[in-house]
Structure 1
């Protein structure tokens, strides 16, 4: 019978039959460009299917078929061969079962251990009353005062902060300077991290992890006591969650992002740790951050400038410079391109901010003296959430640590 009929009779696909043929498991007769499957093919297929149910791999089955068809074993030889074959397979499967059983018991024990652990008490996070001394209106520069709101343990959870010209909303402990209509929500926020990991190239994730650990070592190597830290473009907080435990209680970390959903997601994660740190969440455009001039001791630019640069020609740190003290540290990680394709998603007018030499020049123009710079390995694949480069382009991370 022909291949289609053979597959139909045995309830397997033509692709599967062709795969078996490519491996030499099935050897049909070829006539005039067509393959014909006889009784021998049927018997071989039945043997393949039977051996697969016993846990034999296709390569193991191929060896059996070679002995069977090529060796033409005598009755007693065939009996001895198959006894040895099945005994060996039986012992191997028994070993695998024992290993899986032991692994299953260990997993069950871990489940029981985690079930017995008490859950962390959620620690509400809002705008501490003491943070008001850092805040001011980005339009008129006047201090912001609490007009009305809900306060929990000296933290503003809901309410309004105002000056003589504007009123700013506090929602879920986050200070908002824009309108929610301007902010793009993320779908399935609770699954975002899992989806990101599953839909991002493994080497890209490995490079990201290495970069985060390097940056953590550099940040925690500084004196953070009583310092004000600013991170523009916090996103879902890959960096903040990495360094969170290491932040001293006396420092204030200002997390700025324009996406309220990402801010709520990150804030919820940190609250569920049961650990309280001084985090000021601000949802705003970078041009409207409501903090006082020259109030920041350390700026952590973890891809904030890079994400901004996909749609802007100006350099983000130049906009933020008014918030940074004359004596300050900069720890920056920047996306950089080794080359730009003719089909690049980065338009020519934006490319300077993705070239390390240009980035360094703009940073040094802000009077930051280079203390250290490094680059990561080249990356050629991103993923669903990291699709800012196209086939043929290679990107890497450029780390700049500076002081002024």
Structure 2
């Protein structure tokens, strides 16, 4: 039988048969340049497939076939011993698998347990002096408050001008909510990032947290916005200062609740304020924000709004406010920049350009004091739908302060 017919008979490729011949698993006759698959090859191939079904490796099959050929016929005792050894290997593996399954069950059970701090979830009472009307710039009136363990879980916050916001289930829900223009970071969107880009982002987050820890955070207010797409601080939540207020803003209530659950599990004593907001008119006291965390937030917001995000937060910035973050950019002339303008015609002008960040920060009275190129990648993944393959997108780490 020719090799092609032999391969077809056993539903494998010709290359597989040639490989088995090369390993000595099959020993056909050779007539000229052609292999002739004889009865021995048929018998051996049936045995090979049987042993493969029983999870024997090609090396083990090779040893078995060698024994068979040396002893002319199969020694039933030897074959039985071989099968028993394989069975014992599987039993040991089964024991290990059962151990891992039990560990997974225990972990799943622990994740299903309610957070220790669930009963005290809410806005810390100590944060109340920071509640201001974003239009009148005066303190908000708090009514119908539910307070437990020094945390406000439910309340109404109003102003004489008609402005209204509320605290629901410990989360500040602002008025005039709009539909989010951003892609929410969920299981589907996470697959759109290339691992190289994720690693680059991780380096950027480490750069942010390193600089943040160098700051005096005692009694300060730190804010991170647009958490639906990207968020840096929660990954380091166990090491964050307990005498600092951390504000997390986002469009999606679902994402906010997931973030809260994570933080409460890992550092329940942290003073955290969660705000659902879509227009950056935050119910916060003017000049109350000390540090703004930019986890490529500027890139994300400027893609969908024709405005620089720091402009939107200008009311809440004071003379000592610092911006610590990461910024994505391409070198001028990159095709990716043209792609971006085509896909996002309403974006802020020159976002993703090298000098965009520095120029716009200076317009807001801020100057980059320190910066470093974290790295680059030529394949960030399809989430950056404007990226031209082969071009490099760069990640810049920076800290900016008020110009003196």
Instruction: Flag whether TM exceeds 0.5 (same fold).
Output: yes
Instruction: Summarize the alignment of residues 327-342 of structure 1 with structure 2, pairs less than 5 Å apart.
Output: 327-338=320-331, 339-341=334-336
Q: Separation in 1 of the partners of 2:5 and 2:315?
A: 77
Deviation track 1:279-319 (CA, whole Å, cap 9, x = no partner) reads 11111124322222211111111111111011123221122
Matched residues in 2 for 1:342 and 1:372: separation? 25
Q: After the TM superposition, which residues 109-148 of structure 1 pair with which residues of structure 2 at under 5 Å, given as runs?
A: 121-123=116-118, 124-148=120-144
CA-CA distance at 1:209 after TM superposition: 2.0
Could you say if the C-alpha distance between residues 113 and 382 of structure 1 is closer, same or farther in structure 2, counting changes exceeding 3 Å? Answer: closer
The CA distance in 2 between the partners of 1:351 and 1:150, in whole Å, is: 46
List per-residue Cα deviations over 1:52-106 (Å, max 9, x = no partner). 2454545886x789x98xxxx99648899xx99x999999998998799679768
Distance 1:234 1:60 in 2: 53
State whether structure 2 residue 292 is matched by structure 1 residue 299. Answer: yes
Checking the alignment, whether the CA contact within 8 Å between 1:122 and 1:273 is kept in structure 2 is: no
d(CA) in 2 for partners of 1:3, 1:172: 72
Listed as ranges, the matches of 1:16-55 within 5 Å are 16-21=12-17, 23=19, 25=21, 42-43=42-43, 45-53=45-53, 55=55
- Structure 1 residues 8 and 380 mapped into 2: Cα distance closer, same or farther (>3 Å)? same
- Give the corresponding residue for 1:363: 361
Specify whether residues 22 and 60 from structure 1 end up closer, same or farther in structure 2 by C-alpha distance, changes over 3 A only.
farther
The one of 251, 256, 267 equivalent to 2:260 is 267
Unaligned runs of 5+ in 1: 30-34
- Paired residue for 2:32? none
Q: Classify the secondary structure of the residue corresponding to 1:208.
A: helix
Q: Which residue of 1 aligns with 2:165?
A: 168
**What pairs with 1:381-400 in structure 2 (closer than 5 Å)?**
381-383=379-381, 387=385, 389-400=387-398
After TM superposition, the score normalised by the length of structure 2 is 0.74
Indicate whether 1:230 and 2:230 are aligned: no
5+ residue gaps in structure 2?
A: 30-34
Instruction: Return closer, same or farther for 1:313/1:21 CA change in 2, 3 Å cut-off.
Output: farther
- 1:318 matches 2:315: no
In 2, Cα distance between equivalents of 1:305 and 1:288: 17
CA apart distance, 1:333: 1.0
2:174 equivalent in structure 1 = 177
SS in 2 for 1:354: coil
Q: How far 1:369 sits from its partner (Å)?
A: 3.6
Aligned residue-pair number: 385
Query: Aligned residue for 2:373?
Result: 375
2:237–2:266 Cα contact (<8 Å) kept? no
3-state SS, counterpart of residue 352 of structure 1: coil
Distance 1:354 1:289 in 2: 27
1:275 shift after superposition: 1.6
